[in-house]
Amino acid sequence: MEIKELKKILEKHRFWLNNDDGEKADLYGADLYGADLYGADLREADLCGADLRGANLREADLREADLCGADLREADLCGADLCEADLREADLYGANLREANLCGANLREANLREANLREADLREADLCGANLCGANLSNSKGLIKPSEFLNRLEKNEVGIIVYKTFGENYEPNKKWIIEPESTIEEVCNFDRTNTCACGINVATKEWILSETKGEVWKCLIKWEWMVDVCVPYNTDGKFRCEKLQLLKVVSREELE
């Protein structure tokens, strides 16, 4: 896209944001390869599918912008405000997101491989299915720490107490013996961006009460089995493990 045309679009967008005569920026699928958009005000702009490879978006305001499927490989988004932006399936390979505000951003299935997320704000961001392989998450904010999450759960001298239902969404493993004192096992997917994957999916009693309707089992993860627990980055109370002991069926009244 020609620089003059881009400037005209940005100017109209600025007027639109100020409720003046103007027009919302429509940059759907636009070729913005290497564009200099330093500090640009692109709030709520349509950048869906745009080619922003290597673009300079340092300190740009992209709050609530539509960047779904955008190509942001190697883009510089240092200090950019992406609060509640739609980045579903966006390619952010090698992008610089240092100190970026990604609070509430939708990053489902986004490619963040090798991205720099150092000191980024990821509170309430949706990272389900995102690829964070090799990403720098040093000092990032908002990601749930497994130790802190698990420390809030009920405990006894043997391990932590969790809750589970069977057969409500998926058929249970045919090898499991579902009865009191039985120990069940399953291979666990340790991808923390995946909120529901293979393994024995368990939850807090609060999650069970609000999200399920079936028979509830009180269960135990022994201390020595804790190394095989996966807590998703933004869990709402559900996580998974490789080994679990079933204790007993409990009524919902007992949980409340």
DSSP 52: -
Nearest CA among 228, 224, 246 for reference residue 176? 246
CA dihedral sign of residues 114, 115, 119, 122: negative
Nearest CA among 62, 55, 20, 70 for reference residue 41? 62
Q: Mean pLDDT for the chain?
A: 95
Band (pLDDT 50/70/90 cuts) for residue 196 is confident
Number of H helices, E strands in the chain: 4, 7
Rounded Cα distance, 131 and 127, in Å:
9
Q: Tell me the average pLDDT across 182-208.
A: 94
pLDDT at 14: 94
Amino acid at 114: E
The residue that leads in pLDDT, 194 or 87, is 87
* Predicted TM-score (pTM) of this structure: 0.83
**Is pLDDT at 19 greater than 90 in this prediction?**
no
**Is pLDDT at 234 greater than 90 in this prediction?**
no
pLDDT at 20: 79
- The answer regarding whether domain 1-142 maps to CATH 2.160.20.80 reads yes
**Is pLDDT at 256 greater than 90 in this prediction?**
no
pLDDT per position as a tens digit, 24-75: 999 999 999 999 999 999 999 999 999 999 999 999 999 999 999 999 999 9
Q: According to CATH, where is 2.160.20.80 located in the chain?
A: 1-142
